[in-house]
């Protein structure tokens, strides 16, 4: 994939742009792009025609996790991905990252037990305006996820696109939610997911200024100048069978 090549060309170039704290920069031939899955809603079983593009059924989610486990995949977290990308730290065989956006309650009630069944860890990007509201996770549940070894990430206050932000919006949508989540889990949070996967150059500047180590988009091209802030993910569509999911992972991340 040409975007992957651009990614790793830039990694070498960053030696000249402030990343010299990392003594080893992997060469392009040594690196494979890690598949990163993005889930939102997990709904009761129903015809897929009734689901939004951001939903999967409970049975489908369970089948997806089973095939990942049975196929030998190992989940990784952003700290591991960052060390891999910047220092060449080895990853486990067949790595995959599982991420959830928005803070839906079923991510705790349905996804969490399934992840635990297979020894998987995941990343939960929280939209903080929802915390404690009906059908969303509470502060206690978010903290529990973190305490159990999952990663909590920032997903803004109320899901407005970063491309429309003013200076004040960056405080309301990013700084304050980050502070709130860090207070909830008692740990720093250096990871961000763009609402709708949408970003622009100013967003990269603002996130870098705030010390975010990785930021996650969806399926747009990786930015050749800030690859760590435009990490690609794929939404798991309701129409995917478990076998289709594996096929697309292998096709799009290599």
The residue-averaged pLDDT of 121-135 equals 98
Mean pLDDT of the chain: 90
pLDDT band for position 254 (cuts 50, 70, 90):
confident
Say what the pLDDT of residue 219 is.
84
- Taking only the tens place, the pLDDT of each residue in 166-203 is 999 999 999 999 999 999 999 999 999 999 999 999 99
Say what the pLDDT of residue 246 is.
98
- Taking only the tens place, the pLDDT of each residue in 2-44 is 444 444 434 434 433 333 333 334 444 467 899 999 999 999 9
Say what the pLDDT of residue 32 is.
81
User: Which domains, ranges and CATH numbers included, belong to the chain?
Assistant: 2-252 (3.20.20.370)
- Taking only the tens place, the pLDDT of each residue in 50-95 is 999 999 999 999 999 999 999 999 999 999 999 999 999 999 999 9
Provide the whole-model pTM.
Answer: 0.89
3-state secondary structure the chain: CHHHHHHHHHHHHHHHCCCCCCCCCCCHHHCCCCCEEEECEEECCCCHHHCCCCEEEHHHHHHHHHHHHHCCCEECCHHHHHHHHHHCCCCCCCEEEEEEEECECHHHHHHHHHHHHCCCCCEEEECHHHCCCCCECCHHHHHHHHHCCCEEEECCCCCCCHHHCCHHHHHHHHHHHHHHHHHHHCCCCCEEECHHHCCCHHHHHHHHHCCCCEEECCCCCCCCCCHHHCECCEECCCCCCHHHHHHHHHHHCC
Q: Of all residues in the chain, what percent carry a pLDDT higher than 70?
A: 88
Catalogue the long-range contacts made by 232-236 (C-beta closer than 8 Å, 24 or more residues apart).
232/3, 232/33, 232/36, 233/36, 233/37, 233/38, 233/97, 233/99, 233/193, 233/197, 234/35, 234/36, 234/37, 234/38, 235/38, 235/39, 235/40, 235/53, 235/54, 236/37, 236/38, 236/39, 236/56, 236/64
């Amino acid at each position: 994939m040409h975007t992957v090549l651009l990614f790793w060309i830039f990694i070498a170039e960053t030696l000249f742009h402030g990343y010299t704290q990392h003594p080893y920069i992997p060469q392009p031939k040594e690196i494979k792009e890690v598949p990163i899955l993005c889930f939102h809603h997990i709904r009761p079983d129903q015809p897929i025609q009734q689901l939004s593009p951001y939903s999967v059924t409970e049975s489908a989610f369970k089948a997806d996790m089973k095939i990942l486990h049975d196929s030998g995949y190992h989940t990784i977290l952003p700290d591991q991905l960052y060390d891999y990308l910047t220092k060449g730290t080895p990853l486990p065989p067949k790595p995959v990252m599982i991420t959830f956006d928005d803070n839906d309650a079923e991510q705790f009630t349905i996804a969490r037990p399934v992840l635990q069944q297979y020894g998987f860890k995941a990343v939960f990007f929280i939209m903080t305006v929802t915390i404690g509201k009906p059908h969303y996770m509470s502060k206690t549940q978010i903290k529990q996820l973190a305490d159990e070894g999952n990663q909590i990430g920032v997903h803004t206050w109320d899901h407005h696109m970063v491309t429309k932000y003013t200076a004040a919006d960056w405080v309301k949508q990013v700084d304050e939610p980050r502070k709130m989540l860090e207070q909830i889990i008692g740990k720093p949070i250096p990871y961000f997911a763009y609402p709708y996967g949408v970003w622009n150059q100013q967003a990269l500047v603002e996130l870098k200024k705030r010390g975010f180590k990785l930021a996650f988009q969806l399926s747009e091209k990786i930015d050749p100048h800030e690859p760590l802030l435009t990490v690609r993910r794929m939404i798991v569509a309701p129409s995917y069978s478990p076998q289709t999911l594996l096929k697309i992972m292998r096709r799009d991340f290599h």
